[in-house]
Structure 1
Amino acid sequence: MPAPATPAPARGEEPGLITFHRPAEVPAARTVRPVPGRVVADYGWVAAGEAGEHYHHGVDLAAREGDPVRALRGGTVRRVGSGDPDRREGGRDLGQFVEIDHGEGVLSRYAPLTDLQVKVGDRVEAGAVIGRVASPPPAEPGAPHLHLEVHAGGGSVDPKPFLDDGGGI
């Protein structure tokens, strides 16, 4: 049975109008919580003070700098990089990140990382340590955390259904 997926909304032409993409089917697979911390920033539209609002394509999980980060699911490391992985105009600098392709159109992205344990092409199992939580990049001041994204069907989906209990500690 596919795991539930909440599609990312896109802004419509009219102010305040949100159009939802067709829900992505995400195949079921064993998942492991990347870090034990609770969700401290949700998926979706976020008010950004004077800068207006932006779409948060993942969730932020509470973590300490240096905590090990584990692969959500098994797969192949597709990309390792830094900055804005989607290269969007006005995109956000995530710091150093890792993307894992889980097959069937599903990938996960983790940032900001340090002490990477993987490189492009490596095969990882669910729960394998891929790196450690880094201090937040300058554009993301605040407490250390892990930013986790899940993409399926060509767009981001809410990662919370993939976390073991959705809560954390």
Structure 2
Amino acid sequence: MRNTSEVLQSFESSVERYVAELNALNIEDLLRKENDEEWSIGQMYMHLIQSALFMHLPNSEHCLANNENTVHADAEKTELGKTLFEAGQFPPIRVKVPASPQYTPLPPESKAQLVEGLQQVVERMRRVASILEEVPVSTSRKVSHPRFGALDAKEWFVLIDMHYRHHFLQLDRLKLNLEK
């Protein structure tokens, strides 16, 4: 697995690309949806921001704190989780989750909201990275991911970078819909 600073650098590069892509779009582009089952580009951005701020980063922090949200360090990943982390990336396939109020992100109110959200994620990633560099991950416990199994603090951190890189496929597909 890559070290923390390599992961952070890769993540920051991904965010730079997301911001550059965002700068080329207007709010109508961000809100346009092909149909009710698809997300807009803006919803995809909201998903990335919210999953990092409200799931991935808090779970990394729970692992480091060894608090009541953790499972024992001996808990394991699922086979899918093992495959994912061995590859260091999500497979280049489309993941489709049925639309639902619990999972479908709300559309953004503005481009500024998205830029600010991405900046918040970068700042929090930097804070967690500095902690990960000082604390041996072997001392942390794990938090279970619904599909990947028990992940430690560094794995939750790495997952954010993998998740952001994976969604470039969706961004490219959604941008093609804008050309229609």
Instruction: Please indicate the TM-score interval, normalised by the length of the shorter structure.
Output: under 0.3
So what's the TM-score if we normalise by structure 1?
A: 0.24
Which structure exhibits the higher relative contact order, with contacts defined as CA atoms closer than 8 Å and separated by 6 or more residues?
Answer: 2
Q: Which protein has the larger Cα radius of gyration, Structure 1 or Structure 2?
A: 2
Higher helix share: 2
So what's the TM-score if we normalise by structure 2?
A: 0.23
